[in-house]
Amino acid sequence: MKAELKINYGKNKKGEVFNVDSFQKKRITLLIDSKKVDFGFSEVEITAKTKKELFDLGRDLIHIQTYGFCMRDSDIKKAIETIDLPIKKTLATKSINEFLFN
């Protein structure tokens, strides 16, 4: 999973993308220059730019979601509404569909 900075952080600029190490409650930890750096959800946004990243993100979202996924669109939409991560709902939908139906 990858996340894009929404703020400038040290020498790293807004818009740069880093790997997500972990997340807990309203904090997300990114790997920046081999160091773990914590951010609030308002400071980053989960992203996926390639088909592989979309597939991987969809897989990760399904595994962290406790709602229980089915193949029906209505169930997928309900599950996405319960995801509490800094991610656009359209990206969550696209990545889950990529994982399930690709």
Per-residue pLDDT of 66-87, as tens digits, reads 555 556 777 777 777 777 788 8
Structural domain boundaries in the chain: 1-47, 49-102
Please state the pTM of the whole predicted model: 0.70
Distances in whole angstroms, Cα of residue 19 to Cα of each of 55, 70, 71, 78: 15, 28, 29, 27
- Give, to the nearest 10 degrees, the angle between helix 89-101 and helix 51-64: 100
Q: What is the pLDDT of residue 67?
A: 52
Architecture of the 1-47 domain: Roll (2.30)
Q: Is a pLDDT exceeding 90 seen at residue 62?
A: no
Q: What is the pLDDT of residue 45?
A: 93
